[in-house]
A and B are shown apart, each in its own frame.
Chain A
């Protein structure tokens, strides 16, 4: 029996029936793409093409094209890597952790958030691969492959290697999780289609028939995958933070890094989900599915994780002083007042102060304010990684080696390339795949639509 609460806000508004859900979501897969979509897609593809010039130059000439020097051996590349991986945390968090917590509101946003995760992880993985300099033989450095250079294996003591395993596992498990969810929806589109589309979506749907037995297994698989993905998503950014935390560099060598990185990842991931969702719901007219309630709940997650990140910054500062280690103290004072003070204070403003505005109900229920703040958060999170990486490295132990980092056009171009890639993939997804999980929305419809509940 279904209990309808008069106090709870409905998850889906507009009194939708089951058929309405099918209709609303399948419509943009079946219809001709709109002019707005074409413009957006061409812009993204243009950025991709432009960025490719920088990527090709980097691959041809080597990473000397970047602004790195002997003091700052990691800069934009790793900053972008950590930033994209962080963004890639929201999707699996929404679909896995919220599934375990039985948060039914996730059903209308999980599909697009997972897609975003997968594309963000692809963008992230580009950077370590390019940074290898000669990626075509990179597999020997990254994977334990038998080789003729001697039976020399990869170093399992290195966090960089753990990262290879963490990121690739995360990518493949997220991809599988996402695809399993897509199968019933592809079947819905298949059963509405004729001709070539029926053949294509028929193959994509893997012959799904919606039998009760298949649904039982589907639910079982979703639950176990969620259970596996939850520690996985936490492990990925933990391991990313080990890249820094295990190095003996002032500002990196701290035990606070794993939880602090994970909170930051969720923070930036939710911000990116909001950026994309606000556009998607508008363009595809899905306001009844991605409601103000969803936006508000995501904003609340942003306040919480933003506050955790803020406390982490302050704790870090305090511990640097309290440790009595001079190098550590200097690193932190230098962050706030040294030549990179502008990066530090951009990070503080964007990540610590601006999300606190969401305490005001008017702001967290305003589309425009949410959209702007979601961009601000992602800018802040990019600066956070830049601050951690570049300001810790640029003052070497030897003052004669002190240096500054200046990005070249190739640094900027490769970053642009990943933006182009991310949005090109996302726009293709939004056009050809159902952006909302129809089957799961239908399963929560009864408690939220009076037309269906009767």
Chain B
């Protein structure tokens, strides 16, 4: 059966070996498709050259939206739409609006950020992820190298680089696209 996506996988046991291996593999000119780990490995994103996540900015903007929505809602309802004197206070009793404003800021910031995270990482109940190796959610780190992206290099050379950088196994995996 002809398959159109071919990968070489390096299997790593240890996170420190993995971090060094990422550096070695990249410096030898091999482009890494992605590394799959069972738990977050600190410093891996920097070694892979990923830009810092912009999710905090999304959270801030959604939070700002929450603040302004909450204040607009409360001022509109309490001061303009149906003003009532409550406890001898001003119609627009600003200090009283702070708790609801705070809660709505937190609510929108959290949900907005998580929503962006779900979309950007393609997380949804019906998603069918590409599983390179079932052990990547158990105890192995899997470094996937896309052959199509490394056409200038011999495949055996890539395998050599993976082996010498500490991979305990080097496997092949193909997917139908």
Contacts and interface: CB of A to CB of B under 8 A. Distances in A.
Contact of B139 (A17, A151, A207, A218): A17
Given A169-B107, A180-B114, A212-B34, A207 B137 contact: no
A188 B38 contact: yes
Contacts of A442: 38-39, 139
Given A176-B110, A184-B137, A217-B117, 20 more contacts: A18-B139, A156-B77, A191-B134, A191-B135, A206-B123, A206-B124, A206-B125, A212-B50, A216-B44, A217-B55, A217-B120, A218-B121, A219-B40, A220-B56, A221-B117, A231-B102, A232-B103, A232-B106, A443-B39, A454-B14
A17 B120 CA distance: 32
B127 A210 contact: no
A157 B73 contact: no
Contacts of A2: 16
Interface in A132-164: 144, 150-153, 155-157, 159, 161-162
Contacts of A159: 99
Interface of B: 14-16, 34-41, 44-45, 48, 50, 53, 55-56, 59, 63, 73-74, 77-78, 81-82, 86-87, 89, 93, 96-97, 99-100, 102-104, 106-107, 109-111, 113-114, 117-118, 120-131, 134-139
Contacts of B109: 224, 228
Nearest to B75: A156
Interface string A396-440: 000000000000000000000000000000000000000000111
Contact of A210 (B37, B48, B77): B37
Nearest to A173: B110
Nearest to B36: A210
A219 B15 CA distance: 17
Contact of A216 (B38, B45, B138): B45
Nearest to A204: B125
Interface in A160-200: 161-162, 165-166, 169, 172-173, 176-177, 180, 183-184, 187-188, 190-192
Nearest to A224: B59
Contact of B39 (A166, A216, A439): A439
The majority secondary structure among interface residues of chain A is helix
Contacts of B34: 211-213
A218 B129 contact: no
A441 B169 CA distance: 25
Nearest to A17: B139
A37 B73 CA distance: 48
Contacts of A157: 78, 86-87, 89, 93, 96
A281 B1 CA distance: 50
A220 B117 CA distance: 10
Contact of A446 (B15, B87, B114, B124): B15
A32 interface: no
Contacts of A443: 39-41
Top 9 A-B pairs ranked by shortest CB distance?
A207-B127, A18-B139, A206-B123, A162-B99, A442-B39, A209-B129, A153-B77, A216-B45, A220-B53
B50 A216 contact: yes
A239 interface: yes
Contacts of B121: 211, 213-214, 217-218
19 contacts: A172-B107, A184-B137, A191-B137, A191-B138, A192-B134, A204-B125, A206-B118, A207-B125, A212-B36, A212-B37, A217-B55, A218-B40, A218-B117, A221-B55, A228-B109, A439-B39, A440-B39, A442-B38, A454-B14
Contacts of A224: 55-56, 59, 109, 113
Interface in A292-327: none
A183 B123 contact: yes
A442 B127 CA distance: 25
Given A184-B137, A210-B38, A231 B123 contact: no
Contact of B129 (A165, A166, A208): A208
Contacts of B111: 172-173, 176
A228 B110 contact: yes
A367 interface: no
A389 to B, nearest CB: 21
Contact of A22 (B14, B56, B131, B139): B139
A203 interface: yes
